[in-house]
Amino acid sequence: MEKINKLDILDKRIKSFLEGYRQNIALFCNDKDEITYILDNYFSKNQFNDIIFIRQNGIYLTDKNFFANVALSLLTGYLNRQEKLDNLINICQEKTYLPSTVGFIKTTLQKDNIVFAEVLELINKFINETSRKCLFILEEFTQLQHILNIDYDNFAKFILLQRNCMLILTSSYLKEAEKILSLKLDLLFGNFEKIYLNESIGLENLKYLESKLQIKPSLFFTSFFINILEANIIYYDIVANVINKTYQLNNSEEDTILSVLKNSIYLPQTYLFERFIGKINLLKEYFKNYPDAIKLLMLISEGYFRKNDLLSLGIFDTKSLYNLLEKLKQLQYINDYGNIYKIKDKLFSFWLSSVFKVYYFYPFWSLENRLYFFEAKIKSEIAIFKEEFFKDKIKRIVELLSLFKNDVIYVDNEKYILPAIQRANFLSYADKNYHLLIAEGKELVFAAIKDAMVEDTDILNFIERSLRIKNKKIRKIFISTEQFTQPARLIAKNNKLILWDINEINRLLGIYNKPLLPFHDKDQRRLI
C-alpha cells in the first residue's frame, strides 16, 4: 500500500536527524487507531538506540498523567531501566543524576494544574543536561487542548530553538490539524513536512491483501473483502490472518467468506466486534439522546444517505437531524459530502447492518436466531456483490449515472455536480470500446465512456461530436475505465470537459454504495 511506502520518508527523516539535520513530520490519516498501528509496526522493526523516545497521545489522559508519562519516557530512556516513575526519580537522586530535570519533575507534579509549556520546559531541561537527542511523537495533537492549556506561540518557540528534539505530530482531524500547522506552526525553521496516509483504492489494496495471504483465492474472493475493508491496514491484517486459518480448497469461496466474517466481525470475543461496540458505547458519552444517534447511524448504514431521504422517514425533525449529523461529523463517525452523508468507516457500517442490527432491534433473540440472521444477511450481500462483480463495466457506469439526483458533493476539494438523468439515448461503437450517452434532465448531459485508456484523439473526436448538439446548457463528461493520457487531460481542461477516470468512478461508486470497478494491473497485464 502507498501509505506503507510513505513511511520510507519517516525513516529517512529520523536517520537524517541522527546525522544532525532535523525535519519535523506531520502524519495525517482518517483513522487514529490505524496511525498508532502503523507507527507500532514501524518502531517494532526499526530501533534507534541513540534517540530518547517520548510518545504520548492527545486524548484519554489528564494533564498530570500526560506530564508524568513524558517524565517517565525521559528517565526510562536515560537510565535504560523499566521502573515506576517514583523508583526512577529515587535512582537519579541517589546517584545525583539529572538534578535540574528531576527537581523540575517533582515540583511540577505537586501542582494542581499543569500546562503544555511545562512539558516543553521539562524536555528542554533534560536535553540541556544530557545533550541527548529526543524524538517527541504526539498522537492526535489537535485534541491536546482538551487536557492541557496549550500556547502555540510557546510551542513554536520551542520548535525553533530546540533543534535536538524532532517532532512527529499525528492527527485524524485533518482540517483542524492543517489549520493549526498553517496558522500557528508555520515556521521558517523547524516547519513540518506533511505526510498524508491517504485512502488507497483498488489495485494497491489487492496487492497488499495478496501479499498477506498464504493461498491464492480468486479475484472475486479478494475483491469482496477489498470493497468492505477499503484501505485500513488493521482490517487487512486481521482478515488476512483469519483467511489463512479458514480457507480450504474443498469449500466454496462463498462459504469461506461467510466463515471469515463470522470469525472476524460477528463473534463478540473478536477484536473488531469489541472495537465497534466501543464506538457505539462512546456515543453514550457524547449524546444525551444517544439512541437517536445510534438510530441515525443504522439508517445511514442501510442506505438512507441523503438528508431529504432521512427527513422523509418522519423520525427526525429538521433541527434534530441537523444537530445529530453535525455532532457525528465532528466526532468522525460520518463524512459530509454535501447533500450525502456516509459512515466514515465502511467496515463499521457493514457491521452495523449485518451484526449490530440484530442486537439493536431484537435484543431477546436466541444465539441461534442471531446467527441465522447474520448468515442470511451475509449470503445476500455476497449474492449482490457477485452479480455486480461479473456485470459489464459499461452497464455498471450507466447504472451509476442513473443514481444521481442533482446531487452536489465535495470530496477532497473536488466538487461533483451530478445531474439527475430522466431520458437517455445510448450509442455504442463495439469495435472501439467506445460509447456515447445523451441524456435529458435539468440540463443536457453528453457523455462518452471508453473501456480503455483515453488518448488525445478520443477527446478531439468527442469535442467535434459535441459541437453538433445545439444546446447552451450542456454538461460534457468523458469517462474512462482506465486513465487519460496527459495530452488528453490538457485538451479536455482547455475545452472545459469533465473527466472521470477509474479512480473517480470508484470514488463515486463507493459513495453510492456500489462495488468498485475492476482495475488493470499494469505490471502483470491482468484484469482484476
Q: Are 163 and 134 in contact (CB under 8 A)?
A: no
Indicate the range of 72-76, 256-260, 441-445 predicted with least confidence.
441-445
Residue 1 has pLDDT above 90, yes or no: no
- Which residue type occupies 379? K
In which element (H, E) is residue 136 found? strand 133-139
Specify the 3-state DSSP secondary structure of 432.
helix
Neighbours of 279 (CB within 10 A): 17
Residue 58's nearest CA partner among 66, 68, 47 is 66
Residue 250 has pLDDT above 90, yes or no: no
All three cell numbers of 420 = 439527475
Residue 528 has pLDDT above 50, yes or no: no
Specify the 3-state DSSP secondary structure of 514.
coil
All three cell numbers of 471 = 444546446
Highest mean pLDDT among 121-125, 390-394, 433-437: 121-125
Q: CA-CA distance, 341 to 230, in Å (whole number)?
A: 17
What pLDDT is recorded for position 353?
A: 95
**Mean pLDDT of the region 341-362:** 93
What pLDDT is recorded for position 453?
A: 93
Residue 387 has pLDDT above 70, yes or no: yes
Q: Which residues contact 51 (CB under 8 A, 6 or more apart)?
A: 14, 17, 18, 132, 133, 134, 135
Q: How far apart are the first and last CA of the chain?
A: 17
Residue 441 has pLDDT above 80, yes or no: no
What pLDDT is recorded for position 423?
A: 80
User: In the predicted model, what is the mean pLDDT of the chain?
Assistant: 90
pLDDT tens-place string over residues 190-228: 689 999 887 666 678 888 999 999 999 999 999 999 999
Distances, alpha carbon 161 to alpha carbons 22, 187, 190, 397, in Å: 12, 11, 9, 56
The number of residues in the chain equals 528
Residue 204's nearest CA partner among 415, 480, 516 is 516
Distances, alpha carbon 514 to alpha carbons 87, 244, 506, in Å: 58, 27, 9
Q: CA-CA distance, 12 to 346, in Å (whole number)?
A: 33
Question: b/e per residue, 178-205, with b = 16+ CB within 10 A?
Answer: eebbeeebeeeebebeebebebbbbbbb
Q: Are 340 and 306 in contact (CB under 8 A)?
A: yes
pTM (2 decimals)? 0.88
pLDDT tens-place string over residues 275-292: 999 999 999 999 999 999
Torsion (CA) 116, 70, 171, 115 in degrees, nearest 10: -10
What pLDDT is recorded for position 201?
A: 64
What pLDDT is recorded for position 188?
A: 65
What pLDDT is recorded for position 426?
A: 84
Indicate the range of 12-16, 213-217, 518-522 predicted with least confidence.
518-522
Specify the 3-state DSSP secondary structure of 268.
coil
Residue 105 has pLDDT above 60, yes or no: yes
What pLDDT is recorded for position 527?
A: 36
**Mean pLDDT of the region 152-179:** 93
What pLDDT is recorded for position 424?
A: 81
DSSP assignments along 171-211, one per residue: ES-HHHHHHHHHHTS--SSS-EEEEE-----THHHHHHHHH
What pLDDT is recorded for position 523?
A: 37
3-state SS of 149-176 is: CCCHHHHHHHHHHCCCEEEEEEECCHHH
Residue 524 has pLDDT above 80, yes or no: no
Highest mean pLDDT among 44-48, 50-54, 402-406, 469-473: 50-54
Q: Are 338 and 409 in contact (CB under 8 A)?
A: yes
* Burial (0-12, 13-18, 19+ Cβ within 10 Å), 100: exposed
